[in-house]
Amino acid sequence: MGKNLLIVHGGGPTAVINASLYGAVEEAKKHPEVEHIYAAKNGTGGLLKGEIIDLTNEPEEKLALLLQTPGSAIGTSRDALEAPEYEKMAQILKEKEISCVLMNGGNGTMDTCGKLYKACQAAGGDVRVMGIPKTMDNDIAITDHSPGYGSAALYMAQSTAELCADVKGLAIHVVVLEASGRNAGWITAASALAADQGGDGPDLIYLPERPFDEDQFVADVEELLKKKKGIVVVASEGLHDKDGKPIVEPIFKVGRATYFGDVGTHLAGVVIKRLGYKARGEKPGLLGRCSIYMQSKVDRDEAQLAGEIACREVLKGTTGKMVAFKRISTEPYKVEPFLVDIDEVMMYERTMPDEFINEKGNGVTEAFKEWARPLLGEEIRKMVSFN
Amino acid sequence: MGKNLLIVHGGGPTAVINASLYGAVEEAKKHPEVEHIYAAKNGTGGLLKGEIIDLTNEPEEKLALLLQTPGSAIGTSRDALEAPEYEKMAQILKEKEISCVLMNGGNGTMDTCGKLYKACQAAGGDVRVMGIPKTMDNDIAITDHSPGYGSAALYMAQSTAELCADVKGLAIHVVVLEASGRNAGWITAASALAADQGGDGPDLIYLPERPFDEDQFVADVEELLKKKKGIVVVASEGLHDKDGKPIVEPIFKVGRATYFGDVGTHLAGVVIKRLGYKARGEKPGLLGRCSIYMQSKVDRDEAQLAGEIACREVLKGTTGKMVAFKRISTEPYKVEPFLVDIDEVMMYERTMPDEFINEKGNGVTEAFKEWARPLLGEEIRKMVSFN
């Protein structure tokens, strides 16, 4: 009997989520027993409305563009689901005769994955679900790192290197670059690799893993201003004080979501007010997860591989597992894929370990840089300075 | 008698200002009469302190890195100069026996250029000065466009394309991307080329050449929300209302400089408050003028050529002129360099002509897109969407 496969995207996209989709589709095409390669249109939100895209006969040249398309080419969603919705999805899968499901997402999506699997069992079907890891934030447990992070890290490292060159050349201000990652500092930390360009990296790095002390920040900047007139600070969007209170005020509330002010602009304001020195904040925000120019080749290849493996496994009969990567060696860089129980990764948020953060809490260690460097997929472009 | 050449950078850097420096240095090396190739360290600010870098014997492999180095590799400054400072600079040039000066900058720097020339004449020296155009903002008069703009345009077009893909895939919010260019909308307008990726471009574009009407903006967004759930707006940092008042409040003042709030975040707040819909603002800011990955090849080549020509001309005896580009044809793209009197370009700020702005004032015309497209130096990366 033929099999129908369904791919579902969950949560925020990355620069390589579509590379995993491509990997899964290409793998499925190699298996003659696969009748239809389906995708949920706009994630579980669309699936619940029965909106399904059939990718089976899409031409190869169109599919290959997935490797250079940011965002989610089949759409994704971020809705919190309730029990009856899982039952409904199980029902839809039954109707469409879908027995193999691949869910691509972060630790929230892995939770969905596990619950869908149980709902399908309860509905009496033989549905298998496999998870493909994806997050720019790199906060999924157990795996050495997650597809999506390498590209976000390259974006942050290269952008910081360029910003440092700009600020060194026109040394008139403190520039605070806001980095994504509210609870985990992996992306913020990657800015340290900017120094690989051959010159200076960022002067200060503030991670959400450490409480932020405004007085210490002002003292840090003041000290630096004695030596130079242009300073680059990288700060996580999720900085909070020692009591866990975000350093920026919540400015708006819409439904369950709270919107905070921009950390970069806030800290620039602190410099202006308390030190009377020029400052500005920059916030690339979503641009940091969708840059194709700064897509990491290592990240893209691993994302594609994760999609391939998940597809191969689900067709073999494996279920309730997520593809993960184990670091075999850093120099030369080598990872090995393996499977992990979905139960072990769902809803767990992995932050930076202490050995990756410096003692003063305003920078990272060499150990972090060694670990992160190969994930960029290429070297930070070399630069020159004569001043 | 041998000649000494001095290169000076003025104002904010671009992604290709160092390419002009490279062009000038390489050209100078071809002229045996050139004894020293000097650069002012940190612009006129450094020159006034007699801080001069000697590039004459720098190795070629180091110089070649200038082509991929953002910022100003010799430094630049942004100080307003007074008459005695021009006299002092003329004196320094005399002491260092510098007879050829190249000033790379925007319309403010061209003003400096003209004044320095006159101060040198008054000091009784035979100093020649040539201008090399440079501005990400593209606001220098007479020339078809300025080196620095093509790269800023590619950054804006490609970043917008990527953001549109992200927002289409996870269609849950209005994202307002803030673009550089306080008075001229050239960079903001380049976002329209995002549609070249094969799908949608930005939904709305607000240029500083038109007064911004908040009610109309809210109505524009509300209308779009009837059709789709993800919207991309591109807005100039310099938007102002019909009375010329900036739409964001001045938040800080340091000396003569006024700091305004972020337009992107402000407009996101307007959407949240008035429409109760999720929104966020992104502001790449300085990143838009220093990206090496998104450096336009056409822009880099033209910047290098402008440096070469300025150097050749100043050594020939030409003075008081700026290198400019005349558009010969758009398809195929062809420009011709020519020289323009510095008097004609100094302190004049060129904004977008009416024929490049659409009737409703919330987008650009096809004529603009045709004019701007070749400056990107490459095609916007093609993308695919199945949802």
Q: pLDDT digit string (tens) for B44-76?
A: 999 999 999 999 999 999 999 999 999 999 999
Round to whole Å and give the CA distance between A311 and A3. Answer: 12
Residues of B with CB below 8 A from A72's CB?
169-170, 387
Work out the minimum CA distance from B125 to partner chain A, whole angstroms.
28
- Answer yes or no: is pLDDT of A255 > 70: no
Spell out where B59-203 has E strands. 100-105, 128-133, 174-179
**Residue indicated by tokens 């952008």:** A159
Tell if the CB–CB gap between A285 and B280 is shorter than 8 Å: yes
Instruction: Classify burial at B345, counting beta carbons within 10 Å of its beta carbon; exposed 0-12, middle 13-18, buried 19 or more.
Output: buried
Of A66, A262, A284, the CB nearest to B262: A262
- Answer yes or no: is pLDDT of B254 > 70: no
Tell if the CB–CB gap between A165 and B290 is shorter than 8 Å: yes
Residue B49 has a CB neighbour count (10 Å cut-off) of: 12
Of A171, A276, A284, the CB nearest to B254: A276
Of A9, A269, A282, the CB nearest to B283: A282
Per-residue model confidence as pLDDT tens digits over B89-113: 999 999 999 999 999 999 888 889 8
Phi then psi dihedrals of residue B239, to 5 deg: -55, 140
Q: What is the pLDDT of residue B51?
A: 96
Tell if the CB–CB gap between B170 and A284 is shorter than 8 Å: no
Per-residue model confidence as pLDDT tens digits over A1-45: 689 999 999 999 999 999 999 999 999 999 999 999 999 999 999
Q: What is the pLDDT of residue B246?
A: 95
Q: Rounded mean pLDDT of B328-336? A: 97
Work out the minimum CA distance from B278 to partner chain A, whole angstroms.
7
Residue A148 has a CB neighbour count (10 Å cut-off) of: 30
**Residue indicated by tokens 């904004």:** B351
CB pairs under 8 A between A and B: 229
Cα–Cα–Cα angle for B284, A164, B130, nearest 5°?
90
Residues of B with CB below 8 A from A162's CB?
70-71, 287, 290-292
Residues of A with CB below 8 A from B63's CB?
384
Share of chain A above pLDDT 90, in %: 87
Residues of B with CB below 8 A from A277's CB?
254
Of B158, B269, B282, the CB nearest to A285: B282
Spell out where A169-308 has E strands. 174-179, 204-206, 231-236, 250-254, 257-260, 279-282
Mutation test of the interface with chain B: which of A18, A51, A387, choosing the one with the most B Cβ atoms within 10 A?
Answer: A387
**Residue indicated by tokens 């949802």:** B387
Q: Which of A137, A220, A262, A299 is catalytic?
A: A137
Q: Rounded mean pLDDT of B356-385? A: 96
Sequence-distant (≥ 6) Cβ neighbours of residue A58 within 8 angstroms: A25, B386
Tell if the CB–CB gap between B280 and A286 is shorter than 8 Å: yes
Per-residue model confidence as pLDDT tens digits over B189-245: 999 999 999 988 999 999 999 999 999 999 999 999 999 999 999 999 999 999 999
| Closest residue of chain A to B291, computed from CA coordinates | A162
Per-residue model confidence as pLDDT tens digits over A295-322: 999 999 999 999 999 999 999 999 999 9
Residues of B with CB below 8 A from A269's CB?
251-252
The DSSP letter of residue A93 is H
Mutation test of the interface with chain B: which of A52, A78, A166, choosing the one with the most B Cβ atoms within 10 A?
Answer: A166
Q: What is the pLDDT of residue A125?
A: 78
Share of chain B above pLDDT 90, in %: 88
Q: What is the pLDDT of residue A347?
A: 74
Tell if the CB–CB gap between A262 and B261 is shorter than 8 Å: no
Higher local confidence (pLDDT), A226 or B107? A226
- Answer yes or no: is pLDDT of A254 > 70: no
Per-residue model confidence as pLDDT tens digits over A53-109: 999 999 999 999 999 999 999 999 988 899 999 999 999 999 999 999 999 998 888
Per-residue model confidence as pLDDT tens digits over B177-189: 999 999 999 999 9
Residue A40 has a CB neighbour count (10 Å cut-off) of: 30
Round to whole Å and give the CA distance between A337 and A328. Answer: 10
Of B65, B251, B290, the CB nearest to A269: B251
Phi then psi dihedrals of residue A214, to 5 deg: -60, -40
Tell if the CB–CB gap between A278 and B287 is shorter than 8 Å: no
Which pLDDT band, with edges at 50, 70 and 90, does B256 fall under?
Answer: low
Q: What is the pLDDT of residue B105?
A: 94
Round to whole Å and give the CA distance between A352 and A210. Answer: 10
Tell if the CB–CB gap between B252 and A269 is shorter than 8 Å: yes
Tell if the CB–CB gap between A284 and B286 is shorter than 8 Å: no
Per-residue model confidence as pLDDT tens digits over B26-47: 999 999 999 999 999 999 999 9
Q: What is the pLDDT of residue A379?
A: 94
- The answer to whether the predicted template modeling score (pTM) of the entire model surpasses 0.90 is yes
* Range ranked top by mean pLDDT from A122-131, A270-279, A343-352: A270-279
Per-residue model confidence as pLDDT tens digits over B112-171: 988 998 898 888 878 999 999 999 999 999 999 999 999 999 999 999 999 999 999 999
Residues of A with CB below 8 A from B257's CB?
278
- Answer yes or no: is pLDDT of B383 > 90: yes
Tell if the CB–CB gap between B289 and A41 is shorter than 8 Å: no
Q: What is the pLDDT of residue A87?
A: 94
Of A66, A78, A259, the CB nearest to B170: A78
Q: What is the helix, strand, coil percentage profile of chain A, to 5?
A: 40, 20, 40
Q: What is the pLDDT of residue B200?
A: 85
| Closest residue of chain A to B77, computed from CA coordinates | A170
- Answer yes or no: is pLDDT of A332 > 80: yes
Sheet containing B174-179: order of strands:
B204-206, B231-236, B174-179, B279-282
Phi then psi dihedrals of residue A245, to 5 deg: -85, 130
| Closest residue of chain B to A12, computed from CA coordinates | B170
Q: What is the pLDDT of residue B107?
A: 85
Q: Rounded mean pLDDT of A239-252? A: 91
Concerning whether A137 is annotated as a catalytic residue, the answer is: yes
Instruction: Classify burial at B346, counting beta carbons within 10 Å of its beta carbon; exposed 0-12, middle 13-18, buried 19 or more.
Output: buried
